[in-house]
Structure 1
Amino acid sequence: MAEESVANEEAKTEKAPKKSMLKWVIIACSVLVVGIAGFFGWSMFMKKGASGDSHKAEVSETHGEKKSEESRGIFPLESFIVNLMDTGTGKKYLKVTMELEVMDEIGKKKVEAYKTQLKDTILMLLSSRSYEEINTVEGKLDLKQALLARINQTMGENAVSKIYFTEFVVQ
């Protein structure tokens, strides 16, 4: 009987490494299959995205409704740091960096020519706002519209089509 128990223990120890090895082979195969599927999914997605972009370019060329993107441009402005209007909540500061989208090359030149006046206009408008006015998304959108109207009024024409906030920090 002692011999049988020794034989059973030896059989168990021999089977354990086989199960362990089989488990690792299954895990390795699963990882390999998932990796291959991920690669093919990624490559199909990237090809589809590239062909979709070229199709969009063809459509815009054939219809000709939009101005060419080459004539439009982004004009970056340096950061503005202003004290917000005090409403009893303590001193609040606003740091905002924005970029102006201009219609064409003439607009770019005009923005460059009016750069000093635009900075003054922007600073005056930003410092006239309170924290409560610009704290919400609606407040930021209202600020964008007011800035756009003032900038175009300062330059005398609608050279700027959009304003983009690239940094907006209130402290």
Structure 2
Amino acid sequence: MADDDQNTEQPAAESGGKKKLISLIILAIVVAAMSVGGTLAALKFLAPPAAQDSEATAESDQLPPPAPAIYYPLKPSILANFEYRGRQRYLQLDITLLMREDDVIAAIETHMPMIRNGLNMLISGQLYEELQTAEGKEILRQQCLQEIQRLLQKEINKPGIEQVLFTSFILQ
């Protein structure tokens, strides 16, 4: 009779364990569904209205694509000397200009002495310590862009170039 009691308790325990497992699985599915639903609702709430999307698409369709990029290297390299802690240091810099209009190339070639002079004066006026940092190099790049655009604006009534790119930067 003791054997019969043990046999009846095992099926009850097994069915109770199965019920807990099924309940946990259902609970996990409900939690996952609520999570997905909440995420979708949040995305829909945070998304811009459809009217603005269609306006932005219409504006981008009306604007012509930009002209292809034209890269023009300034040759020869620009050299600058620096006095740093009682020693002579120098910078060798290769610059490439990015533009989108062919006529700007002719203007750059015509006014190359003025452009090189402006760049030499600008670069040689920098502090050697600042040029050793990434921030200093980026500031110099921006200043070179502004200087060339200023000179071209004065000569051809448009800035002409879009970017100044340092293709080689040797600082010793």
Q: If the TM-score is normalised by the length of the shorter chain, which range does it land in?
A: 0.5 to 0.7
TM-score (norm 2): 0.58
Residues 74 and 95 in structure 2, CA contact (< 8 A), matched pair in contact too? yes
Residue in structure 2 matching 1:137, options 134, 138, 153 = 134
1-structure distance, mates of 2:93, 2:135:
16
- CA drift of 1:63 comes to 6.9
Q: Which has the larger radius of gyration?
A: 2
1:44-97 Cα offsets, whole Å, 9 max, x none, are xxxxxxxxxxxxxxxxxx77543121xx3111112111102x243521100000
Residues 71 and 98 in structure 2, CA contact (< 8 A), matched pair in contact too? yes
The alignment-based identity, stated in percent, is 24
1:93-128 Cα offsets, whole Å, 9 max, x none, are 000001011230121121111111101111111111
Residue in structure 2 matching 1:148, options 124, 145, 149 = 145
Residues 73 and 102 in structure 1, CA contact (< 8 A), matched pair in contact too? yes
2-structure distance, mates of 1:101, 1:80:
17
Determine if the alignment matches structure 1 residue 109 to structure 2 residue 110.
no
Q: Which runs of 5 or more residues in structure 1 are unaligned?
A: 1-61
Report the residue type matching 2:78 in the other structure.
Answer: F
Aligned-pair RMSD on alpha carbons? 1.9
Q: Classify the secondary structure of the residue corresponding to 2:88.
A: coil
Q: Classify the secondary structure of the residue corresponding to 2:65.
A: coil
2-structure distance, mates of 1:63, 1:76:
33
What aligned pairs does 1:18-97 form with structure 2 within 5 A after superposition?
A: 65-69=64-68, 72-78=69-75, 79-84=77-82, 86-88=83-85, 90-97=87-94
Q: How many residues align?
A: 108
Answer 1 or 2: which has greater strand percent: 2
2-structure distance, mates of 1:97, 1:106:
22
What aligned pairs does 1:111-130 form with structure 2 within 5 A after superposition?
A: 111-130=108-127
Residues 73 and 104 in structure 1, CA contact (< 8 A), matched pair in contact too? yes
Q: Classify the secondary structure of the residue corresponding to 1:92.
A: strand
Q: Which runs of 5 or more residues in structure 2 are unaligned?
A: 1-60
Residues 67 and 100 in structure 2, CA contact (< 8 A), matched pair in contact too? no
2-structure distance, mates of 1:89, 1:154:
34
Q: Classify the secondary structure of the residue corresponding to 1:77.
A: strand
1-structure distance, mates of 2:164, 2:171:
19
Instruction: Give the direction of change, closer, same or farther, for the CA distance of 1:64–1:118 in structure 2 (3 Å limit).
Output: same
